[in-house]
Amino acid sequence: MRHAPATVVTLLPLDELARAAPKQAPSSGPPARAVARGAGGARSVLEMLDLALEVLRERFGLMVGLGTLAWLPVRALQPFIGVHVWERSLASGSMLGSSLGSLVDSGGSVLSQCFGLALLARLVNDGLEGRDSALGPTLRLVFARFHVVVGVAMLTAIATALGTCACFIPGILLSWKLAVAPVACVIEGLGVGASMRRSFLLTRRGFWRWVFLSLASAAIGLPFSGIAVFTNFPGMREKALSFTGLSSTSFDVLFVFVSSLVLGVAIALHASVMTVFYADARVRREGADLEQDLARCVRPVAHA
């Protein structure tokens, strides 16, 4: 009489698990080894920054390329809605044109930052878990949730802008509490409201970690982002035109592509740092590392 197939599962002792953890497939790459080293708990801010840079280095070309695509539509609008356009259309010396141009530029920047973060979060998360990244599935996933990502980006932009206008401090606090909403939206497949609530939950008691990582990311990316904002200052575009000797059209075309590229580097770095921050917050709040340990402990050993 034939018996039904059965699977026997064994649990590895913790000491055996510690010895077996470094024995990973060579294709898993350095990020997977970093996860294995840090699987015992939360990381310090320096360890998180080091891991984020490691993941970025492993996928630099792909992440910068996608970051450039995320910034390109907004940068392509600069020749038409930039500060210099408002300065010419309004009275000379008026602060209103500069203020309107800065407002439009800030809104577009927040949208690009949020969309770029959502676009790159999946790649970084694959790196943290030691999986190979596939561009096609990643793009399909993000564009299938494009409306949700845009909703998160718009609400984040409005909330932080209103908070900044209210004596600046509320804007900083809202930037912190909503920092990982785009990441949760893509990785966990949440809606707009659920993504923002999830970000509020995961960032609890993580303010100083967020401050350090945000400042470190901004400082490292400053040489890149600084180039892009160069012509946003009143009068700087005219000085750049006279210095380079280019026509307005040639300068605009060149600057759109150059600024998109350098901002792509900055958003790739920011996305890597924020996704690592999100993963660490899950470890601290939910013990996500224990789930990975359990998955390695449980293994099928026989089939009857």
Residue 231's pLDDT band (cuts 50, 70, 90):
low
Above 90 in pLDDT, residue 213? yes
Beta carbons of 267 and 112 less than 8 angstroms apart: yes
- pLDDT score at 50: 94
Beta carbons of 97 and 87 less than 8 angstroms apart: yes
What CA–CA distance (Å, rounded) separates 180 from 183?
5
- pLDDT score at 193: 92
- pLDDT score at 234: 59
Residue 196 CB: number of other CB atoms within 10 A? 23
What CA–CA distance (Å, rounded) separates 38 from 20?
14
Q: Could you state, in order of their start, the residue ranges of all structural domains in the chain?
A: 42-286
Tokens 């759109």 -> residue: 256
What CA–CA distance (Å, rounded) separates 122 from 188?
10
What CA–CA distance (Å, rounded) separates 194 from 137?
23
* Cα radius of gyration rounded to whole Å, the chain: 23
The whole-chain average pLDDT of the chain stands at: 77
Task: Rank 99-103, 242-246, 268-272 by mean pLDDT and report only the highest.
Answer: 268-272
DSSP state of 179: T
Give the list of residues 6+ apart from residue 263 with CB closer than 8 angstroms, or none.
67, 68, 71, 75, 112, 224, 225, 228
Beta carbons of 187 and 125 less than 8 angstroms apart: yes
In this predicted model, what pLDDT tens digit does every residue of 254-263 receive, in sequence order? 888 988 999 9
Could you tell me the end-to-end alpha-carbon distance of the chain, in angstroms, rounded to an integer?
A: 13
Per DSSP, the chain holds a count of helices (H) and strands (E) of: 16, 2
Tell me the mean pLDDT in the region 46-74.
91
In this predicted model, what pLDDT tens digit does every residue of 127-136 receive, in sequence order? 888 877 777 8
